[in-house]
Amino acid sequence: MTSLYEQRLHLFQQTSNQKLFSGIRHGIEREGLRVTPDARLSQTEHPEALGKTLTHPYITTDYSEALLEFITPVYCKVNDVLGFLEELHAHTCRNMEGEYLWAGSMPAILEGDKKIPIGRYGSSNPGKMKSVYREGLAHRYGKPMQTIAGIHYNFSLPKEIWEVLQANQQGSSSLDDFQSEGYLALIRNFRRYSWLLMYLFGASPAVDKSFVPEGNNSGLEELDDKTLFLPWATSLRMSDLGYTNNAQSSLDICYNTLPEYVSSLEKAIRTPYEPYEALGVKKDGKYLQLNTNVLQIENEYYSNIRPKRVASRGEKPVDALRRAGVEYIEVRCMDINPFEPLGLSATDAHFLDVFLSFCALHESPEIAGDECRRATSNFAVTVAEGRKPGLLLQSEQGDIALPEWGSQLIDNMMPIAELLDKANDTTDFTAAMAVQLEKLADVEQTPSAKLLRELKDNKQGYIDWLTELSKKYSGDFSKVPMNEERKAYFTKLAQESLIDQQQLEASDTSDFDEFLKNYFEKN
């Protein structure tokens, strides 16, 4: 009997549908710390020449004033996305005034909470809300965790692909509902197979000692007197050391249907959590957090992947999803690869396109108890021990060696890579598959293994090695040719962001307490 996946492959191999995969849309968000020449977090304000972080469309900050975030527009070609991302790096590094962009996911030297400045977004109510939210993160999870940087990969299939799939399946739901169901199916398969991404792209097996509490190495081993590591780890960023916490560990966020997902997330936003209630919302008139619930807002949920829709001004993300369904997905588990100046390569991105298209087209039944536990376990063990010889993962059929299962998955994805090659008149997608197969055949080709080998061979600590790379990349970016028209474009964006923030602050006359009350009371 022909599987649903095989039926769909046959459908898109037809001449009339072959070009549809040229319409895949991508956007990239890359985070990176501003650091001093001696690898400490910048204590200066966001560079004025880069504009205002609240209102600039492409250059903002994440948690810390020192944690830059670059956001590209949406493009159909990977190289166009990366080209714009390079321009953002070039413009920024020209305006860093003696500072450098940190080249790794795990942070530079940390000198205590007082030296981790929270992002500042001005005096408007939306700006205050962003800062108070970050204050809440500091109290809930600690500041060091918020200095970890990563790459978010935004991905969507063209509407024409969903139309073809819906017509083939003769579904009775609206196209928007069918598309939302398709993206949730993608997410469920992503949960099943995202351990493979951590093996192939995890690039944070080591960290500076200043990141962990003194006297508590969290199970890590010493590489030298300043560096801690896990011998077989792929990504400390995605381990218990990074994005985990007690309050969220009890959440049961469901990806089986969109209404279930929205309601489970809303429940977390409205459910009080005793330790946060003990902390309180205010102290001596100063906000400590937005509220005392499990999540202050939706963005606090630290998931590896999110269903997304562009929200209208003032609209909550869950309300946007409820109103019009899922528009795209955001992959959030990618480390910054320190061997790539931009943090990821075109080859990485081409593979992600194949992987995510595979997750969308392959069968994806609902995930329940046992399978949910298997998916969570496979991801966690790959993060902590992904390069361990003989490592076994749990498949539906039983235990299986990681390289064997990974190779099987890539073999199953090859028809997708060929479709993408044909649609885009290239061989980049099948070439990207070959690179990943090499990593599965030889663990030493993975970024995590290469990073540890560099540290050991050069007898360098994590900070010294990353400092050299960061200075090199920042220097190279500052020399990237940019014509006068593009320079003027980025200067204009910065000036417009200043005017937009000033206008927002001038027009914002309501009390902040009332603003928050109205925000959380909106349906």
C-alpha to C-alpha distance for 83 and 342, rounded to whole angstroms: 10
Which helix (H) or strand (E) is 352 found in, with range? helix 346-361
C-alpha to C-alpha distance for 196 and 287, rounded to whole angstroms: 41
Contact 485, 91 (CB under 8 A): no
HEC string of 275-292 equals HHHHHCCEECCEECCCCC
C-alpha to C-alpha distance for 2 and 128, rounded to whole angstroms: 56
DSSP code for 480: S
Nearest 5°: the CA angle 164, 158, 409 is 80
pLDDT along the chain (523 residues), means of 10: 89 94 97 98 97 98 97 98 98 95 98 96 96 96 94 98 91 88 97 98 97 81 95 95 64 84 90 93 95 93 93 87 96 98 98 98 92 93 97 96 98 98 98 98 98 96 98 97 96 98 93 92 70
Model confidence, pTM = 0.96
Residues pairing with 68 in the sheet? 32, 61
C-alpha to C-alpha distance for 306 and 321, rounded to whole angstroms: 11
Is 4-521 a domain of CATH 3.40.190.10?
A: no
What per-residue confidence (pLDDT) applies to 2? Answer: 73
pLDDT > 70 fraction of the chain, expressed in percent and rounded: 97
- Using DSSP's 3-state secondary structure scheme, residue 151 falls into strand
Q: What is the pLDDT of residues 200-248, one digit of tens each?
A: 999 999 999 999 987 677 789 999 999 999 999 999 999 987 655 566 7
What per-residue confidence (pLDDT) applies to 523? Answer: 54
What per-residue confidence (pLDDT) applies to 84? Answer: 98
What per-residue confidence (pLDDT) applies to 170? Answer: 75
Q: What is the pLDDT of residues 395-430, one digit of tens each?
A: 999 999 999 999 999 999 999 999 999 999 999 999
What per-residue confidence (pLDDT) applies to 362? Answer: 97
> Quick one: CA dihedral 481, 88, 342, 46, positive or negative?
positive
Cα distances (Å, whole numbers) of residue 454 to 92, 106, 338, 451, 463? 28, 16, 11, 5, 12
- Residue 92 CB burial class (10 angstroms; 0-12, 13-18, ≥19): buried
What per-residue confidence (pLDDT) applies to 242? Answer: 62
C-alpha to C-alpha distance for 499 and 51, rounded to whole angstroms: 10
Give the count of beta carbons closer than 10 Å to the beta carbon of residue 116: 22
C-alpha to C-alpha distance for 423 and 230, rounded to whole angstroms: 42
Nearest 5°: the CA angle 513, 516, 517 is 85
C-alpha to C-alpha distance for 19 and 523, rounded to whole angstroms: 41
User: Domain boundaries in the chain?
Assistant: 4-521
C-alpha to C-alpha distance for 347 and 192, rounded to whole angstroms: 23
Contact 191, 367 (CB under 8 A): yes
